[in-house]
């Protein structure tokens, strides 16, 4: 492109501003499936299954680097950049809260039994998503990730008994 760093940073004010512009673009494009599912699904169980299966396709896509930018970026930072990692963690925690609320609706409606723990279910789904992201970065194919998503769905099905 021929753009030198000083010109790029001048356009975006700072490296951090540039980075979060990239994150915003990612969330509006490759990562939009998650926000769409959260907005559209009323059942936590259906939300989890949908997100896990859609993540398999998005995370393993060859049209961009594998995995999820919000999950994978800034996992190791210097103390001076901890605020960047904290901001990404806040994004992940917002999604975690949305899953927990959806699972709570399932308990309240009777779709999940009263002993189901929405907090733990949300953490389980988040852990599976994070693992799928890393596996995609390590080269897992969409079929591999779909198998993980299906297995996670089967594990959640046990709760309906």
Show the 3-state SS of the chain.
CCCCHHHHHHHHCCHHHHHHHHHHHHHHCCCHHHHHHHHHCCCHHHHHHHHHHHHHHHHCCCCCCCCCHHHHCCCCCCHHHHHHHHHHHHHHHHHHHHHHHHHHHHHHHCCCCCCCCHHHHHHHHHHHHHHHHHHHHCCCCHHHHHHHHHHHHHHHHHHHC
User: Residue 56's pLDDT is what?
Assistant: 97
Which pTM was predicted? 0.87
Domains and CATH numbers, the chain: 15-160 (1.10.357.10)
User: Residue 59's pLDDT is what?
Assistant: 96
Among 142, 134, 115, residue whose Cα is nearest residue 69: 134
pLDDT tens digits in sequence order for the chain, 161 residues long: 566 666 666 677 778 888 888 888 888 988 899 999 999 999 999 999 999 999 999 999 998 889 988 888 877 778 888 888 888 889 999 999 999 999 999 999 999 999 999 999 999 999 999 999 999 999 999 999 999 999 999 998 877 66
User: Residue 7's pLDDT is what?
Assistant: 67
């Amino acid at each position: 492109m021929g753009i030198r760093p000083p010109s790029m940073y001048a356009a975006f004010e700072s490296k951090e501003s540039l980075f979060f512009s990239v994150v915003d673009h990612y969330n509006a494009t490759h990562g939009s499936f998650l926000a769409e599912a959260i907005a559209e699904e009323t059942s936590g169980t259906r939300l989890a299954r949908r997100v896990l299966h859609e993540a398999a396709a998005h995370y393993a896509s060859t049209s961009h680097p594998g995995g999820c930018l919000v999950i994978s970026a800034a996992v190791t930072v210097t103390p001076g950049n901890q605020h960047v990692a904290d901001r990404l963690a806040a994004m992940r925690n917002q999604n975690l809260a949305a899953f927990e609320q959806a699972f709570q609706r399932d308990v309240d409606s009777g779709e999940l039994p009263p002993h189901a723990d929405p907090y733990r279910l949300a953490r389980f789904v988040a852990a599976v998503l994070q693992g799928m992201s890393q596996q995609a970065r390590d080269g897992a194919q969409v079929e591999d990730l779909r198998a993980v998503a299906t297995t996670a769905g089967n594990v959640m099905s046990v709760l309906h008994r």
